[in-house]
Structure 1
Amino acid sequence: MSEPLRQTDRKREAILQAAIQEFRLNGFEATSMDRIAATATVSKRTVYNHFPSKDDLFAAILLKLWQSAVSQDDFRYQADKDLREQLENFLSNKMRLMCDPNFIDLARVAVAATIHTPDRARDMVERMNKREEGIFAWIKAAQADGKLKVGDPGLMGDMLQSQLKALAFWPQVAMGKAPLEAEQQKELIKLTAGMFLRYYGVA
């Protein structure tokens, strides 16, 4: 019973790897499901069995990259640990993802694919936001523990992450700037966590 499942998993992985290659080389619009199937050496039907649409496949790739950088299941509020340490660990994992060359390339593809298609852009943003729910749950737990001020966890989480994205992600995606050096990354993480806690932390 387990062998077919393993074979299915192998085919799914082959499709994801082929799609990453094709999207990076040709962009979203020029990449077809036929092309992905050929690169993965599977049938087109097999591709559609795993991913109902090209949008679903692209979203799955972004999710795969996210999961390779940080497991959200491991990021949960810990009352016995220093708040700043927990935040810096989260931001370090976030930084690792944003500096991943594959993720940067695919983010460029996503921007190009959605800039003239608002409906697709909204759908992609919603998919990405679902993967960032870990920080919102963490903020809620810290508020309930009296460690953070009362406020909208969604807004607070967005503000926290936006500081990182403004310097370590969007310039690299939109303007082709080089990723931050390791020391720059560490400094930005410390500043971001510090600013967040100075404003929202409970003395």
Structure 2
Amino acid sequence: MTAALRLTDRKREAIIQAAIVEFRANGFDITSMDKIAATAGVSKRTVYNHFPSKEELFAEILNKLWTSISAQPDTVYRNDLPLRGQLEELLRAKLYLLADNNLLDLARVAIAATIHSPERAQDMVARLGEREEGLTVWIREAQADGRLKPVDPCFAAQQVQGLIKAFAFWPQISMNQPALSPEMQTTVVESALDMFLACYQR
């Protein structure tokens, strides 16, 4: 990679980070490309060279959020292993992801912007829904193996992830609470496992 290309990449990343700061502080509609340029320490022309519009810059932030979530590996269902251990691995991976400060910042920006403009949320919600499919597939395969009751797997997946997010996502997003301690993470996971398996395990 040439020095010029590295500088271009650094400027692009600086613009994205500046946009995250400004969108989070002031909201999407109030934030201007001029302000983003000033925060990034680049010219307005440089910003427009990378992102022709504020909407495209916001779309890149959503893309980074999507990429962060997509980087998490799925756990493949195993019929020779206990359900609890497999589900615990899935939930702990979710907790690890939700504790990432960069992801939380991206999520705050995305949620704040989409509250004021619901149409902006449609693509994000659809793509995040696709990402949740990993747990849904795991539940469906456990059902096919006769180890879980025949409930709607999408509903069950959303339900158990809701138990996690109630402690490890929404308080951090809405009230800026700190990430869960390791002890609290264990408490949340064990409780979610107890409730899910008591309800759905055959």
Residue in 2 that maps onto 1:166: 166
Q: CA, structure 1 residues 15+163, in 2 after alignment: closer, same or farther (shift >3 Å)?
A: farther
> Could you say what secondary structure the match of 1:160 adopts?
helix
Aligned ranges 1:10-21 → 2 under 5 Å: 17-18=13-14, 20-21=16-17
Q: Is the aligned partner of 1:57 residue 2:57?
A: no
Where does 1:35-46 land on structure 2 (aligned, <5 Å)?
35=37, 44=48
Question: Is 1:22–2:44 an aligned residue pair?
Answer: no
Q: Distance in 2 between matches of 1:12 and 1:197?
A: 51
Between Structure 1 and Structure 2, how many residues are aligned?
190
The alpha carbon displacement at 1:160 in A equals 0.7
Paired residues for 1:74-85 under 5 Å:
75-85=75-85
Give the Å deviation of 1:47: 5.4
Q: Which runs of 5+ in 2 are unaligned?
A: none
Asked if structure 1 preserves the Cα contact closer than 8 Å seen for 2:15 and 2:47, the reply is: no
What residue in structure 2 maps to residue 71 of structure 1? 73
Partner amino acid, structure 2, of 1:135? L
Gap change, CA 1:145 and 1:91, over 3 Å in 2: same
For the Cα contact (< 8 Å) 1:22–1:31, is it kept in 2?
no
The 1:141/1:187 distance shift into structure 2, 3 A limit, reads same
Aligned counterpart, 1:175? 175
1:116 aligns with 2:116: yes
Residue 157 of structure 1 aligns with which residue?
Answer: 157
2:193 matched residue in structure 1: 193
- The alpha-carbon distance between structure 1 residues 165 and 12, as it changes in their structure 2 partners (threshold 3 A), is farther
Long gaps (5+) in structure 1: none
Q: What is aligned with 1:135?
A: 135
Greater Cα radius of gyration, structure 1 or 2: 2
User: Which residue identity lines up with residue 18 of structure 2 in the other structure?
Assistant: E
Structure 1 pair 31/186, CA: closer, same or farther in 2 (3 Å)? Answer: farther
What are the superposed Cα offsets for residues 103-134 of structure 1, whole Å, 9 maximum, x if unpaired?
Answer: 11111111210111111123321121111111
Change (3 A) 1:65 1:144: same
Tell me how far 1:64 sits from its aligned partner.
2.3
Distance 1:144 1:101 in 2: 37
Instruction: Report the Cα distance in structure 2 between the residues aligned to 1:92 and 1:11, rounded to whole angstroms.
Output: 37
Residues 32-82 of structure 1, C-alpha deviations (whole Å, 9 max, x = no match): 49848x59xx7856657xxx93343122211222244x223xx21111111
Report the identity percentage: 35
**1:16–1:61: 8 Å Cα contact kept in structure 2?**
no
Deviation at 1:181, TM superposition (A): 0.8
